[in-house]
Amino acid sequence: MSKRLNNYPDVNLTIDKFGADALRFYLLSSPAVHADELNFSEKGLEEVYRKIISRLWNVYTFYETYPPAPSAFGQALAENILDKWINARLNQTTSEVTTAMEKYELDQALRPLELFIDDLSTWYL
């Protein structure tokens, strides 16, 4: 992409369309983190928005719409195997992200987040 040739999409329109979080995730998981060349793809950004940001927002909206009962949730959390599993996955994800972030491997830190969001939205909900 070249500023002189103006062969790149307008940043403001891109952020308005997909959001800043999708753009951050896309750029941090790209080869640009290692100072390699990046051919920006709006299609790739759309995929990040659809697979990561939109799914996470849907999970949040679900829990905001259908909150668990306060007294029953504590008991169910101790008994339900899916709750135990998602807590274990969260702990695993936290550990993997922390390890990668401590090594300054930003692209490696995002992969476990992507997998956790997929598990959360597909299997847990």
pLDDT tens digits, 5-50: 666 777 888 899 999 999 999 988 887 777 777 778 889 899 999 9
Contact 106, 24 (CB under 8 A): no
Predicted TM-score of the model (pTM): 0.78
**Stated length of the chain:** 125
From CA 106, how far away is CA 60, in angstroms rounded?
Answer: 24
Per-residue pLDDT tens digits for 83-112: 889 999 999 999 999 999 999 999 899 999
Contact 1, 7 (CB under 8 A): yes
The three-class DSSP label of residue 23 is helix
